[in-house]
């Protein structure tokens, strides 16, 4: 069903980009950026902060008095941009894994993140009209955030919002069960008029903040019992031998992953499950039965090693071909979209006193500012890349050539990626846009480019030169990821702004500010987590427990790809298997799309299920099944009462989204705090109250508590249906 939103008209001018809003946005940015950095390093996932940021903003500004829907929108815009920028951790830890860095230099990390994120903003500004205003793209998360803002904001005195009511979705899209990520459920109409009372709006904001707080507290306590007190285990695993083959049955106990799985929905969850079945039910058993088992090596270690060094690259190939296919399918609409955008940029006019005046809700940053900002940011990148290579024992000409190759590639490929990610975000939402896949494509292309330049110059003749080339490839890919993630988020925010009547140029300034604030937060948080836990293959201190290291799965994978290309040791056979598998899955998904209905097969999600550790993927699947089970019960209850499902389940769906967001934030913040405790004490488990002999018991305790929390979530969400 389509939703209707109240839109502030052009003639109404309200405070939007305020000082208190920017300060509040910066504070929320710190929280969500730290949370996303930790979550991304631990499990390879980040979460969209738009909806929780909007809810927190409404609650705070309501308490301060004088807030309005447009000011709230600016706060969530700023916070969401910064939280999204944390996806830089998908690549950058690789610089420590290869030994090129021994920490995260503040200014270089700031430069690559801030300039990349801001370029992601300016690259998508020309796309706003074609892809947001004139497009039929549904933008599920953007519509959802707009609905949250509308319901939580009081009507404005003297403004006839009913007269300004406009359709939120030009296509009148009906969200199929599981067809979109779970966050899109909150885009359904709330069943109440925008002219509801200020008290009701305040109540919605406060209730939403309570749900986020509740989820955060529950997850924080569970995480503290796991990572701090050690009375809960992190996972439980059973290895099942069948002749020479071995199968693995496992699940983790992360409430943050339950929240993430709840948000991605059942379609993506089942695709991840398919990837896990192909990995641990087919590929690993086949390899364990056909590969010589080294004497004395534990069965679990043998199977895990085959997955990490062989099977995982099948996932990389699957994700890579899915990303390439996405780019191919977007070439024509992107070209048309860019042409249309530039032709109409600033052309939406209203006649007033014989003069042409740009309407408030059509005011993008002027083209001259876009060009100037782009040039300044390219210069920042040139300086940052130069600083990155400044200590290399190379000639000035070779350094200049490498810097130019890296920057030109990042800018050109980044622009293409910005268009593709923006389109995908509008089509299926930011959560399912192929950021990891694009990173894999980028690291392969830039590695081949630098490989060609380096062979001509003789850079690869030494181990030091080879390591420098690998490091530059990872650094350049980090720049591309920064552009891609922000462009992925930017158009969702601009869709929200269009629906509520925000001024685009002010929103774009908020996005630029969010990028700078987020970029300033990322380096210290990365250093804190690195020194406390270390990364897979990169431990900062002697005697650290490798089992406690953050897995940083994407960074590990991209580092392995870049290293394999430069050392000519990349397992292309596994990558090719992944490419073929991805092509088959793409064909199946296309067939399902032609059939219609909600059944789809997201190829990227299948690839994720292959290369993520099973203790992570399994919990994502559980979270998605939990969301589906709740939705199934709600539909049965609505049918039994003979009422409209959307109106009946709206409050429950919204509560589920906010609870899930709270679970992610709560666990992630405890992880950051525990990193500080570990770093301060210098001990791996300074707060543990049990020893290693308690491990088996802790796993079963965690399982019981985990099931109880899932049941509590289901009961609380179902209780909200009305």
pLDDT at 4 over 50: no
Residue 45's pLDDT band (boundaries 50, 70, 90)?
low
Compute CA distances 285 → 242, 248, 293, whole Å. 9, 9, 12
Q: Provide mean pLDDT across the span 705-716.
A: 95
Is the pTM higher than 0.85? Answer: no
The pLDDT tens digits for 240-289 are: 888 778 888 889 898 988 987 887 788 888 999 999 999 999 999 999 99
pLDDT of residue 529: 85
Q: Taking the C-alpha atoms of 452, 457, 458 and 463 in order, what is their torsion angle to the nearest 10 degrees?
A: -70
213/36 Cα distance (integer angstroms): 17
| Higher local confidence (pLDDT), 509 or 322 | 509
Residue 137 near residue 423 (C-beta atoms within 8 A): yes
Confidence of residue 164 (pLDDT cuts 50, 70, 90): very low
Nearest alpha carbon to residue 4 among 646, 714, 679: 646
Q: How far apart are CA 76 and CA 25, in angstroms?
A: 7
Q: Which two tokens stand for residue 559?
A: 């580092």
Q: 167: which strand partners?
A: 4
Task: Give the whole-angstrom CA distance, residue 610 versus residue 57.
Answer: 38
pLDDT at res. 399: 87
Q: What is the pLDDT of residue 621?
A: 92
Provide mean pLDDT across the span 26-54.
Answer: 75
Q: What percent of the chain has pLDDT over 70?
A: 81
Judged on CB neighbours under 10 Å (0-12, 13-18, 19+), 496 is buried
Lowest-pLDDT choice from 141-145, 219-223, 346-350: 346-350
Looking at residue 550, the DSSP 8-state letter turns out to be B
Residue 504 has pLDDT above 90, yes or no: no
DSSP-derived 3-state class of residue 531: helix
Contact 507, 497 (CB under 8 A): yes
Q: What is the pLDDT of residue 180?
A: 37
- Count of Cβ atoms closer than 10 Å to residue 354 Cβ: 5
Residue that wins the pLDDT comparison between 502 and 184 = 502
Give the phi and the psi of residue 297 in degrees, each rounded to 5.
-90, 135
Who has greater pLDDT, 487 or 644? Answer: 644
Helix and strand numbers, DSSP H then E, in the chain: 23, 6
Q: What is the mean pLDDT of residues 518-540?
A: 85
Mean pLDDT of 127-148: 72
User: Higher confidence at residue 213 or residue 420?
Assistant: 213
Give the C-alpha separation, 434 to 419, whole Å: 13
pLDDT digits (tens, 9 = 90+) for 242-251: 877 888 888 9
Token pair recorded at residue 608: 């994720």
Q: Output 5 or 545, whichever has higher pLDDT.
A: 545
DSSP per-residue string spanning 342-374: HHHTTT-EEEETTEEEE-GGG-PPPHHHHHHHH
Question: At 575, is the pLDDT very low, low, confident or very high (cuts 50, 70, 90)?
Answer: confident
Q: Which residues contact 456 (CB under 8 A, 6 or more apart)?
A: none
Whole-angstrom distance, CA of residue 559 vs CA of residue 280: 23
pLDDT at 426: 65
Average pLDDT of span 133-156 = 67
């Amino acid at each position: 069903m389509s939703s209707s939103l109240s839109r502030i008209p052009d003639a109404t001018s309200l405070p939007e980009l305020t000082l208190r809003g920017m300060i509040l946005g910066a504070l929320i940015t710190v929280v969500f950026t730290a949370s996303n950095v930790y979550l991304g390093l631990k499990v390879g996932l980040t979460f969209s902060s738009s909806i929780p940021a909007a809810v927190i903003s409404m609650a705070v500004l309501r308490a301060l008095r004088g807030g309005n829907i447009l000011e709230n929108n600016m706060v969530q815009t700023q916070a969401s941009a910064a939280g999204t920028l944390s996806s830089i951790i998908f690549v950058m830890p690789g610089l420590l894994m290869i030994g090129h860095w021994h920490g995260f230099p503040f200014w270089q990390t700031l430069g690559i993140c801030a300039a990349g994120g801001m370029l992601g903003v300016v690259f998508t500004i020309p796309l706003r009209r074609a892809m947001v205003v004139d497009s039929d793209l549904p933008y599920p998360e953007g519509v959802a955030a707009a609905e949250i803002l509308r319901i939580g904001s009081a009507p404005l005195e003297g403004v006839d919002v009913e007269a300004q009511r406009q359709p939120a979705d030009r296509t009148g899209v009906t969200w199929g069960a599981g067809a979109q990520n779970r966050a899109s459920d909150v885009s359904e109409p709330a069943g109440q008029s925008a002219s509801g009372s200020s008290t009701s709006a305040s109540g919605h904001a406060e209730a939403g903040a309570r749900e986020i707080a509740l989820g955060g507290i529950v997850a924080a306590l569970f995480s503290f019992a796991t990572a701090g007190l050690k009375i809960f285990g992190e996972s439980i695993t059973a290895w099942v031998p069948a002749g020479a083959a071995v199968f693995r049955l496992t699940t983790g106990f992360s409430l943050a992953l339950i929240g993430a799985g709840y948000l991605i929905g059942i379609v993506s969850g089942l695709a991840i499950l398919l990837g896990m079945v192909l990995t641990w039910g087919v590929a690993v058993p086949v390899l364990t039965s056909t590969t010589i088992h080294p004497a004395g090596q534990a069965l679990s270690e043998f199977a895990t090693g085959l997955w990490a060094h062989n099977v995982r690259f099948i996932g990389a190939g699957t994700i890579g071909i899915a990303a390439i296919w996405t780019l191919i399918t977007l070439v024509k609409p992107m070209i048309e979209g860019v042409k249309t955008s530039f032709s109409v940029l600033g052309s939406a006019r209203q006649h007033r006193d014989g003069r042409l005046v740009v309407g408030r809700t059509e005011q993008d940053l002027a083209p001259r500012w876009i060009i100037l900002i782009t040039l300044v940011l390219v210069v920042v990148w040139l300086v940052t890349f130069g600083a990155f290579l400044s200590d290399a024992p190379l000639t000035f000409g070779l350094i200049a050539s490498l810097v130019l190759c890296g920057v030109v590639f990042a800018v050109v490929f980044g622009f293409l990626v910005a268009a593709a990610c923006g389109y995908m975000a509008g089509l299926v939402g930011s959560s399912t846009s192929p950021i990891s896949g694009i990173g894999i494509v980028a690291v392969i292309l830039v590695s081949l480019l630098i490989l060609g330049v380096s062979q001509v110059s003789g850079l690869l003749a030494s181990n030091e030169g080879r390591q420098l080339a690998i490091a530059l490839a990872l650094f350049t890919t980090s720049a591309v990821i920064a552009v891609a993630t922000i462009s992925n988020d930017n158009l969702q925010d601009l869709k929200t702004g269009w629906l509520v009547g925000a001024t685009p140029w002010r929103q774009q300034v908020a996005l630029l500010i969010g990028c700078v604030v987020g970029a300033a937060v990322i380096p210290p948080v990365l250093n804190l987590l690195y020194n406390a836990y270390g990364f897979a293959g990169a431990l900062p201190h002697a005697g650290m427990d490798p089992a406690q290291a953050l897995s940083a799965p994407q960074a590990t994978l991209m580092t392995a790809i870049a290293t394999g290309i430069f050392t000519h040791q990349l397992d292309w056979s596994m990558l090719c298997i992944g490419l073929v598998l991805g092509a088959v899955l793409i064909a199946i998904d296309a067939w399902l799309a032609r059939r219609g209905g909600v059944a789809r097969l997201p190829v990227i999600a299948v690839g994720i299920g292959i290369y993520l550790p099973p203790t992570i993927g399994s919990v994502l699947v559980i979270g998605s099944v939990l969301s589906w089970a709740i939705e199934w019960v709600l539909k049965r209850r609505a049918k039994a009462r003979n009422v409209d499902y959307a109106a009946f389940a709206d409050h429950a769906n919204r509560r589920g989204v906010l609870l899930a967001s709270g679970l992610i934030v709560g666990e992630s913040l405890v992880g950051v705090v525990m990193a500080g405790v570990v770093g301060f004490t210098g001990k791996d488990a300074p707060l543990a109250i049990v020893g290693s002999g308690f491990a088996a018991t802790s796993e079963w305790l965690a399982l019981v508590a985990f099931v109880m929390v899932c049941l509590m979530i289901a009961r609380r969400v179902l209780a909200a249906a009305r």
